[in-house]
Homo-oligomer: A and B are copies of this chain.
Amino acid sequence: MQFTITRDRFVQDVQHVAKAVSSRTTIPILTGIKIVATEDGITLTGSDSDVSIETFIPKEDADSEIVTIQQPGSIVLQARFFAEIVKKLPGEDIEVSVTDQFATTIRSGSSVFNLNGLDPEEYPRLPQLEEDLLFKLPQDMLKNMIRQTVFAVSTQETRPVLTGVNLETEEGELICTATDSHRLAIRKAKIEKNDNSLSFENVVIPGKSLIELSKIIDDSNDLIDVVVTENQVLFKMENLLFFSRLLEGKYPVTKSMIPTQSKTSLHLKTKSFLHTLERALLLSREGKNNVINLKTLDGQVEVTSISPEVGKVTEHIDAQIDGEEMRISFNGKNVIDALKVIDSEDIHVMFTGAMSPFVIKPIDHDNYLHLFSPVRTY
């Protein structure tokens, strides 16, 4: 194998696939990045067996040449070193060549690296997925959907299925749900599909996979293809494939948890409520329970929190209040997490009682909703 490639493009794609590589893998070959040179270009693959990323660098892009293939072939190189090395190489171009026994030479400017490669035949093949279940959505929308749900997944391995975000369809909409059983985030979106009968449920993608995906996809509205199978999901972009294993197990039915009515409804400014809770959290996180108390007054909401050792904070913020008086305590950190991902300037906070879950949603649309369990204090 021998090829010469533009440094910047190579660095970018190596960084992308390196995101899938874990140093803690038990399969030695997966500590490497697989490089395949064909007449058409270079394919790079990284995998930790849960997530696999494959990128393709074509020989040329628009008007400029990216790769010159002197001899097709393949090799696997240690991801940790290889990714660091290409990033630091001095030249504008990088030449990669493999001789006997996987010995690889990387030249760029004044630098010559001789690396011990691994046998590419040992590298596992990526799954070939049936594309029966396929839909499309813009990259920026997918990125937002991940941002607005993934923070709410469970970090506890006691119920593995809750460490993922659940995808399902309902009336032509895609619904993403995340919950750690104390809070719930739901995000809905219209999707484009090949087939009007597209319908699935209980497609649970590990939160970690989505966080990595989110780092790779950009803020453009280019469409991304999503292929769903029994135990894998594939995100297809131009020249990049992102595979993730799905989580096994039945995702809990969450629809019935969401109250349809409210006894007390607040209309609040998102940022102002967020900053008030952040200040209150300064004291309540000391007790490790993050409890913040909220009480309705006349045209105002009183937010308080107490740390017996340190002191107390009290804050009044203006609010439009409809319905009954309300006193409630909740995990402030969870509400703050949700307020941080709400893009709308105004929110509704809807209570059905001091001991019942309450809802926060934007005032201007129904695309997302957050649900929280109260904390028993009174």
Using a CB-CB cutoff of 8 Å, which residues 93-151 of chain A contact chain B? 104, 110-116
A208 at the A/B interface (Cβ < 8 Å)? no
Q: How many residues of A contact B (CB 8 A)?
A: 31
Given known A110-B317, A316-B110, A317-B110, contact A311–B279 (CB-CB < 8 A): no
Residue of B nearest to A88 (CB): B279
Given known A81-B282, A88-B282, A279-B85, contact A116–B313 (CB-CB < 8 A): no
The smallest beta-carbon distance between A278 and chain B, in angstroms, is 6
Interchain CB contact under 8 A, B112 and A313: yes
Interchain CB contact under 8 A, A114 and B311: yes
Besides A90-B279, A111-B313, 9 more A-B contacts (Cβ < 8 Å) are A81-B310, A90-B275, A110-B276, A110-B316, A110-B317, A111-B276, A111-B314, A112-B313, A116-B311
**Chain A residues packing against B (C-beta within 8 Å):** 78, 81, 84-85, 88-90, 104, 110-116, 275-276, 278-279, 282-283, 286, 309-317
Interchain CB contact under 8 A, A111 and B282: no
Interchain CB contact under 8 A, A279 and B111: yes
**In the bound complex, how far is the Cα of B116 from the Cα of A283, in angstroms?**
12
Interchain CB contact under 8 A, A314 and B112: yes
Interchain CB contact under 8 A, B279 and A115: no
The smallest beta-carbon distance between A374 and chain B, in angstroms, is 23
Interchain CB contact under 8 A, A78 and B310: yes
The smallest beta-carbon distance between A77 and chain B, in angstroms, is 9
